[in-house]
Chains A and B, each alone.
Chain A
Amino acid sequence: MRLAAVNAAAAGEGCVPGMSLATARALLPALKIAAADPQGDARALAALADWCRRFTPWAATDGADGLVLDITGCARLFGGEDRLLDRLLAALRRFRIAARAGLADTPAGAWALARFGGGGVGDRTLAPPGGTGAAVLPLPAAALRLPPAVVAELARLGLARVGDLAALPRAPLVARFGADVLSRLDAALGETTEPISPRSESRPWIARHAWSLPVATAGVVEAALTRLLVGLGAELAEAGLGVRRLCLRLFRVDGGIVRLTVGAGRPTCDPGHFARLFALRFEGLDLGLGVEAMILEGREPAPLGTIQRELGARPGRAEEELPRLLDRLATRLGEGAIRRFEPVASHLPERSVRAVPAMLPSAVPATVWPRVGARPLRLFPAPEPIEAVAAIPDAPPPLFRWRGRVHRVARAEGPERIAAEWWRRREPSADDFRDYYRVEDRDGGRFWLYRRGPYRVQGSASWFLHGLFA
């Protein structure tokens, strides 16, 4: 086993990468080791490159241990190159990442300065604008990012520094070492440009269409949209992806932009489904004097879920059709209008159910509804005050008036005492409870009444009707 990398403390004791573990242990018995994980490192580096996008849109990974950022035009947003580096390096220190920065006019120059510049002083080496050549020339030849064999060959010939190479005539250099040395030298000194390819964000899923003349007929727009949907759907299907949201922007000739968004409960790439959803939104659409162009953009791409069917079961229409139906309903009525019920662990009747969007998969697959006392079929969002007087404690009123009608109680069950959730109250009170009664009047109407707080002889207790039983 060999060392793949060492930290500064281990390096100070003489450990170097490539050394066998036994030798390193002999040098430093207290050495702590961890298995190298090149793939994990690469993933972490890629994530760090994405994170660096806060400084510049042009950020990319560089080799196994480097990041390259093109901060052209970005430095002034952070108060100068030095301040940008301050923030970048401070953040990396917070992540407990030991980093060195080099800043130069060329990527190759910055690479050389970050790894070989400064002679180990500080955590950064800056070449002033136009000074990259001067800063790179004194560095060792290895700073040109040449293969180790070439560096050893150059050293054997006494060409230890970049400046030694730059001083030589170019033709013999190419003849002896190949074109690579020269191209690396030119890249470092800024003789040639070396573009960097930023890590691309996830691919945008965009389709567009422009008309040569403004179009004011919804049918024409819809036909073009269908073509865009088919094209985008095919691209998505090829990538094995679906989208949960499609945004359509229609650019009107008067400068207005009409935005339409449709959503799907689960990712899909089916153009027909999205076409139906858009058709629901096209009703009453104001195209003004006409539309010149439109852009269709897919958002929230996600892998297409595979539909599992029972072995031997014929392809069911229902399980595929239900999400589509919910999408159509949600597109027309809004996602908040279609709900499923989920139980909540609360004794208060009005808090015992939660309505969750039906588009989302149920959080509780096999829902278990707690078995509590009889609960009404209709529960009023706001309990309605009733006129009632109970003659004796712990008994329902013999008659009550609700919505202007007098009901004579023939049968009753209760009380079921439900205390307020004191942990929600700022000032909990022992009297903060409700005594519920299920009563039946002489006509058979069944109601859920409650008295708020304890019984009072004076008849000032407040009674409410909270729900209706079947």
Chain B
Amino acid sequence: MVSVTRPTVLELLRERILRLEGLPPLLAGREQAAPLGVPEVDAALPWRGLPRGAVHEVVALDRGAGTGFAALLLARLAGAGPILWCSRRGDLHAPGLAAFEVAPERVIALAAPSPEALLWAMEEGLRSGALGAVLGEVSALSLTAARRLQLAAAGGATPAILLRSAGAEAGASVAVTRWQVAARPSATSEPGVGPVRFQVTLARCRGGAPNAWLMEWDDATLRCPVAADAADRPARPEAA
């Protein structure tokens, strides 16, 4: 006989609340979660990765860096399925996506004439269950619209990523995770621009604690560079 201990009760209660809110439960969500492949980050996430049938938010403090990080999340969440990329402007450059593990031919680019049409298209794509993931570049988002997206993502078991610019109000949201992404100078002893670096802040995480990491992407692996490396130092080591 195992006596019911307090953490189990708490866990069960948390599960119940998550289920009531239409969010991925912790215990079942763990099997379906998509790990980021960065041990430090995965350990900090309650699901040991990103749950699939849920909305994730990427706030791009730098437009390029935010797009790159969102593409990396997409590559991890989408599996082999097609990706619906909903946007209101057409400046996404397909050859650039390939460097972030998103094969451009998998992307279905949708140019929405209005914010309402964009949200409708995202919802429709999420509900259909035919897609690997849906990304929407949204500016303003009402709580109702966000809630609808979350329900659609849960209903279609399809992950959604909201890519938002820095100016957008970061108020109420039902997103399971919210990432703030800023660009950081690259560090390399070679001349030229080194591997891409992001300052990634997990600003919000259901059932988890906020956190922040410096991450580096070198066209093959995403990792957290060691602390000494991460410190602000001259771009090139000074010759002795």
Query: Using a CB–CB distance below 8 Å, which chain A residues touch chain B?
Result: 317-319, 321-322, 324-326, 328-329, 332-333, 336-343, 349, 352-353, 355, 358, 362, 364, 367, 369, 372, 374-381, 410-413, 438-440, 442-447, 467-470
Asked if B7 lies at the interface with its beta carbon under 8 angstroms from chain A, I say no
Asked if B47 lies at the interface with its beta carbon under 8 angstroms from chain A, I say no
* B186–A411 CB distance below 8 A: yes
Asked if B170 lies at the interface with its beta carbon under 8 angstroms from chain A, I say no
Given the known interface contacts A367-B105, A439-B193, A444-B65, the answer about A321 and B124 at a Cβ–Cβ threshold of 8 Å is no
Q: Chain B contacts of A439 at CB under 8 A?
A: 193
Bound-complex Cα distance A328 to B122 (A):
12
A406–chain B nearest beta-carbon distance, Å:
16
Q: Chain B contacts of A336 at CB under 8 A?
A: 111
* B193–A440 CB distance below 8 A: yes
* B196–A470 CB distance below 8 A: yes
Q: Chain A contacts of B237 at CB under 8 A?
A: none
* A377–B217 CB distance below 8 A: no
Bound-complex Cα distance A438 to B99 (A):
15
* A322–B131 CB distance below 8 A: yes
Bound-complex Cα distance A340 to B62 (A):
26
Q: Chain B contacts of A340 at CB under 8 A?
A: 105, 107-109
Which of B81, B90, B95, B191 is in CB contact (< 8 Å) with A352? B95
Which of B81, B90, B104, B193 is in CB contact (< 8 Å) with A381? B90
Which of A317, A329, A353, A358 is in CB contact (< 8 Å) with B94? A353
Asked if B69 lies at the interface with its beta carbon under 8 angstroms from chain A, I say yes
Asked if B184 lies at the interface with its beta carbon under 8 angstroms from chain A, I say yes
* Nearest neighbor of A336 in chain B, beta-carbon distance: B111
Q: Which 8 A-B pairs have the closest CB atoms?
A: A470-B68, A468-B64, A444-B183, A379-B93, A341-B94, A321-B130, A367-B105, A377-B96
- Cross-chain pairs A/B with CB under 8 angstroms, 29 sampled: A318-B129, A319-B130, A333-B111, A338-B110, A339-B109, A339-B110, A340-B108, A341-B94, A341-B104, A341-B107, A352-B95, A353-B95, A355-B109, A362-B105, A369-B94, A375-B96, A378-B91, A411-B193, A440-B185, A443-B62, A443-B185, A444-B62, A445-B62, A445-B65, A467-B96, A469-B196, A470-B68, A470-B100, A470-B183
Bound-complex Cα distance A381 to B87 (A):
14
* B183–A446 CB distance below 8 A: yes
Q: Chain B contacts of A444 at CB under 8 A?
A: 62, 65, 182-186, 197, 199
* Nearest neighbor of B132 in chain A, beta-carbon distance: A318
